[in-house]
Amino acid sequence: RKLHANAEESSDDVTDPPKVEEKIGGHGGLSTDSDVVHRESESMSKKTLRSNAEKFEFQAEVSRLMDIIINSLYSNKDIFLRELISNASDALDKIRFLALTDKDVLGEGDTAKLEIQIKLDKAKKILSIRDRGIGMTKEDLIKNLGTIAKSGTSAFVEKMQSSGDLNLIGQFGVGFYSAYLVADYIEVISKHNDDSQYVWESKANGKFAVSEDTWNEPLGRGTEIRLHLRDEAGEYLEESKLKELVKRYSEFINFPISLWASKEVETEVPVEEDESADEETETTSTEEEKEEDAEEEDGEKKQKTKKVKETVYEWELLNDVKAIWLRSPKEVTEEEYTKFYHSLSKDFTDEKPMAWSHFNAEGDVEFKAVLYVPPKAPHDLYESYYNSNKANLKLYVRRVFISDEFDELLPKYLSFLKGLVDSDTLPLNVSREMLQQHSSLKTIKKKLIRKALDMIRKLAEEDPDEIHDDEKKDVEKSGENDEKKGQYTKFWNEFGKSVKLGIIEDAANRNRLAKLLRFETTKSDGKLTSLDQYIKRMKKSQKDIFYITGSSKEQLEKSPFLERLIKKGYEVIFFTDPVDEYLMQYLMDYEDKKFQNVSKEGLKVGKDSKDKELKEAFKELTKWWKGNLASENVDDVKISNRLADTPCVVVTSKFGWSANMERIMQSQTLSDANKQAYMRGKRVLEINPRHPIIKELKDRIASDPEDESVKETAQLMYQTALIESGFILTDPKDFAARIYNSVKSGLNISPDAVADEEIEAAEEPETSEATETKSDDLAGGLNIEAEPVEQQEENTKDEL
């Protein structure tokens, strides 16, 4: 928000610190305070700044973020440098991209050099970082550095408050502000091709100022960030410290980073006559010098010289800009891959990525790529999964960074991967939009998916905790893989949902993805297992893969649907994630085996020799019961082949929703009631012919099919079976009434017995005391003496 267009009267808001007047890159280092002309220009600039500066307030969230940063006790203040260098590198990427289609944007001479320069002014305690990137217009400065909060700002503020860890700042897109860890006043001088040079400045006191720059040297193009360091941040004025930080954090920046560094050099200077006569007192001359002098004396009469040490300044290149992905994978060390991951993902925690794949694709479409599985899923991976266009791969074309918003490179379900692709096949001089439609992208995408799935498969293969085939036992025994122990479970816990979403979305790779599925089963003993392992353990007579869906393993373990299967030694998969219901609508078969939900119709578990006999014997009961349930949307009543100890269950038809899916759909706010009714599976009541209750019912029906108490019991049995089978009752009141009737009969109470009527106490005249008590009890509810609600609301608003 703009405060004042001309803010002379509030000039204290932005004070006037000393300024570095020298043009960075100039020779001879920094000039001194004693320079009169500079002092003049400083005082000039103070005036200009004060009278012309437009002042703005930071957007509230940004201001909060800055408060937190400036007051932070976070010890790793070093992070600011990598954030500023990363911003500089982004700005350079942007101008280089524009230059692909219009060379002129680069300008001429030094301006065309795509580089980053760091300079120190020890006397004034200023650290400057300059790039020749795209720069910012006045409007950019106002928007980018203060008035428009990035989407990640409040997420980061929250994270900071809970964890106190500033290290992740770059991941939330607010890295610039980390500079306030070390500086209490910052100037951002910027020149964009479309605008004049402007200065943004702020002391982080909720406000910032922007003014046209008429006093600094012109930058040509780009941005210079001047950090006026806090007293306690003096270490960042040490060249050695900066060199170390650039090496550590910015090793993989693809532009040269140089430091204006001091160097001791020996130079020859002419020796004054009287000086040479007084050689005894010359302390700086060395033996060598003496010899040299002697030689000269021997030869032609030359001007006498001596060597002296002098401190000179020059740009020292700090990084090696050879891109890691251009090197052969054999040459790159594990440590380098890890560091590259950190810089790519802006995730500077100590954690190593779980896996990586560096490869060179040849053929019609040539490209190099590095893919990483991050150590952790980002906080918002599945938030608005279908609506966000998050792509984490960076696309380069012949070493030029093009975009990191290319969602054509990987399908959504793999968007958790980080990495980059550098293609020689894609054209350089076309717009992003045209590139997005380039036919090679399809091939690149296909190969990337294959490589990504291979990389994930290997994670499992290398994990000694995974149950391996016999031939792989050797790897297990070698003991070399301790580090890899449990890595696939870790992967699964972080990204398992993505594999499931992949099965739903990517028909072409469904089988490959199904191989990566993990789940618990009735036999997995609390561990995760795979479909391959399941198939290996299948009983000879078993044709289908059995699974059951529900909200938790603990609940499913007790499910009546499993009774007979477990008794007979079959293994059943537990699917407990809501996404599993969707998953199983797409995953129809695996390795020629069909999937069978054991709570649905069609379960085949061996043959019971008495099947036919039982069917016949219970025919009367099943027919009677079906008729009795006519109003309940029950399709049939059948003899069950899945029950052992439970009298009856309700199963659903094969293609309708399971009870679990019905529950999931009912809990969705926006689900459509009509669709719910349509998709609800047809229900079948299955009865256990070996159960005493069922046997008793059968006998009772045989003697009197009109017996009301039997009808009542049968209805209660059905409703109980619904609950046990995972359905939600539509009329719980009716169910409760039946239970109470049954309790009455259990307690030998007459079915007609009703609750006693309450005897109304005679109305007493109200005393004032009674009124008070009543008013307290009701706490403003129905109490006529309480303030009306509207009035209360108004008062609250006033307080706010």
Q: Does 544 bind ligand ATP (CB under 6 A)?
A: no
Q: How far is the CB of 4 from ligand ATP (least distance, A)?
A: 24
Q: Report which of 583, 602, 614, 584 is spatially closest to residue 642, judged by C-alpha positions.
A: 602
726 token code pair: 């995972």
Residue with smaller CB distance to ligand ATP, 343 or 423: 343
Copy the structure tokens of residue 398. 């012949």
**Taking contact as CB under 6 A, which single stretch among the options 133-141, 208-216, 549-557, 648-656 is the one that binds ligand ATP?**
133-141
Least separation in angstroms between CB 140 and ligand ATP: 6
Q: Does 174 bind ligand ATP (CB under 6 A)?
A: yes
Nearer to ligand ATP, 87 or 597 (CB): 87
The distance of closest approach from Cβ of residue 191 to ligand ATP in the complex, given in angstroms and rounded to an integer, is: 10
Site for ligand ATP in 697-716 (CB under 6 A): none
Distance CA 766, CA 638 (A): 66
Q: Which residue's CB is nearer to ligand ATP, number 50 or number 346?
A: 346
Query: Smallest distance, Å, CB 179 to ligand ATP?
Result: 9
Which has the closest alpha carbon to 631: 718, 527, 548?
A: 718
Q: Does 88 bind ligand ATP (CB under 6 A)?
A: yes
Q: What are phi and psi of 7, to 5 degrees?
A: -110, 40
Residue with Cβ nearer ligand ATP (174 or 694): 174
Widest pairwise Cα distance in the chain:
142
Sole window of 79-87, 352-360, 771-779, 783-791 interacting with ligand ATP (rule: CB under 6 A) = 79-87
Query: 94 vs 738, which CB is nearer to ligand ATP?
Result: 94
**Pairing mode of beta strands 400-403, 545-549:** unpaired
Q: Kindly report the three-state secondary structure assignment for every residue of 746-770.
A: HCCCCCCCCCCCCCCCCCCCCCHHH
Q: Which of 17, 25, 133, 411 binds ligand ATP (CB under 6 A)?
A: 133
Binding of residue 83 to ligand ATP (CB under 6 A)? yes
Three-state SS at 131: strand
SS3 assignment, position 357: strand
Q: What is the phi-psi region of residue 498: left when phi exceeds 0, alpha when psi lies from -120 to 50, beta otherwise?
A: alpha
The reply on whether position 170 binds ligand ATP by CB under 6 A is yes
Q: 547 with 597: CB under 8 angstroms?
A: yes
Smallest separation, CB 143 to ligand ATP (Å): 8
Spacing of C-alpha 50 from chain mean position: 43
With H, G, I as helix, E, B as strand and everything else as coil, classify residue 460. helix
Of 87, 117, 720, 725, the residue at the interface with ligand ATP (CB under 6 A) is 87
788: left (phi over 0), alpha (psi -120 to 50) or beta: beta
Q: Which two tokens stand for residue 549?
A: 């869906």
The contact mask relative to ligand ATP for 431-450 (x = CB under 6 A, - = no) is --------------------
Kindly state the smallest distance separating residue 322's Cβ from ligand ATP, in Å: 23
Q: What HEC string does 266-301 produce?
A: EEEEECCHHHHHCHHHCCCCCHHHHHHHHHHHHCCC
Quick one: tokens of 763? 């109305």
The alpha carbon dihedral of 128, 133, 139, 144 has a sign of negative
Amino acid at 659: A
User: Which range touches ligand ATP (CB under 6 A), out of 67-75, 83-91, 382-390, 734-742?
Assistant: 83-91
Q: Which is nearer to ligand ATP, 84 or 459 (CB)?
A: 84
Q: How far is the CB of 86 from ligand ATP (least distance, A)?
A: 5
Q: Least separation, in Å, of the C-beta of 80 and ligand ATP?
A: 10
Size of the site for ligand ATP (CB under 6 A): 20
CB of 141 to ligand ATP, least distance (A): 8
Which residues pair with residue 648 across a beta bridge? Answer: 687
CA distances from 409 to 100, 343, 375 (A): 21, 20, 21
Binds ligand ATP by CB under 6 A, chosen from 45, 86, 521, 549: 86
Q: 328 to 357, contacts with ligand ATP by CB under 6 A?
A: 346
Question: Is residue 220 a contact point for ligand ATP (CB under 6 A)?
Answer: no
Using the rule CB under 6 A, give the single segment among 81-89, 287-295, 436-444, 663-671 that binds ligand ATP: 81-89
Task: Determine, following the binding rule CB under 6 A, whether residue 131 of this chain makes contact with ligand ATP.
Answer: yes
Residue the block writes with tokens 């990525």: 353
* Cβ at position 128, least distance to ligand ATP in Å: 12
**Type and span of the H or E element at 566:** helix 563-567
Backbone angles phi, psi at 204, to 5 degrees: 60, 30
The position carrying tokens 């609250």 is 796
- Neighbour count for residue 751 (Cβ, 10 Å): 11
Candidates 17, 25, 146, 175; binder of ligand ATP (CB under 6 A) is: 175
Residue 134 binds to ligand ATP (criterion: CB under 6 A): yes
Whole-Å CA distances, 395 to 341, 422, 471 = 15, 6, 40
Quote the tokens at residue 594. Answer: 């069909």
Helix, strand, coil share of the chain (percent; to 5): 45, 20, 40
**Contact window for ligand ATP (CB under 6 A) among 130-138, 314-322, 551-559, 580-588:** 130-138
d(CA 337, CA 359): 13
With binding defined as CB under 6 A, does residue 45 bind ligand ATP? no
By CB under 6 A, residue 197 contacts ligand ATP: no
Q: Which residues pair with 419 in a beta bridge?
A: 371, 393
Minimum CB separation of residue 88 from ligand ATP in Å reads 5
Is 145 a binding residue for ligand ATP by CB under 6 A? The answer is yes
Binding positions for ligand ATP, 506-535, rule CB under 6 A: none
Q: How far apart are CA 556 and CA 534, in angstroms?
A: 18
Write phi, then psi, for 639 (nearest 5 degrees): -75, 135
Minimum CB–partner distance for residue 347 and ligand ATP (Å): 11
Q: How far is the CB of 448 from ligand ATP (least distance, A)?
A: 24
The window from 131-139, 657-665, 730-738, 748-756 that contacts ligand ATP (CB under 6 A) reads 131-139
191 or 663, CB closer to ligand ATP?
A: 191
Q: Which stretch binds ligand ATP (CB under 6 A): 6-14, 174-182, 324-332, 391-399?
A: 174-182
Query: Which DSSP symbol is given to 145?
Result: I
Is the distance from CB of 70 to CB of 162 less than 8 angstroms? no
Per CB under 6 A, the segment of 171-179, 488-496, 650-658, 786-794 that binds ligand ATP is: 171-179
Kindly tell me which of 135 and 502 has the beta carbon lying closer to ligand ATP: 135
What is the DSSP code string of 18-58? Answer: ----SPTT-SS-PPPTT-HHHHHHHHHHHHHHHHH-EEEEP
C-beta of 260 vs 625, nearer to ligand ATP: 260
Q: Which is nearer to ligand ATP, 127 or 605 (CB)?
A: 127
Our finding on whether 136 is near ligand ATP (CB under 6 A) is yes
CB-nearest residue to ligand ATP: 175
Taking residues 90 to 119 in sequence order and writing x for each that binds ligand ATP by CB under 6 A, - otherwise, the string is xx----------------------------
Of 204, 180, 152, 201, nearest in space to 80 by CA: 180
Nearest Cα residue to 353 out of 244, 487, 474: 487
Residue from the set 29, 107, 173, 486 that interacts with ligand ATP by CB under 6 A: 173
* Contacting residue, 144, 436, 481, 676, with ligand ATP by CB under 6 A: 144
Question: Phi-psi bin for 419: left (phi > 0), alpha (psi -120 to 50), beta?
Answer: left
Residues that bind ligand ATP (CB under 6 A): 83, 86-88, 90-91, 131, 133-136, 144-145, 170, 173-176, 223, 346
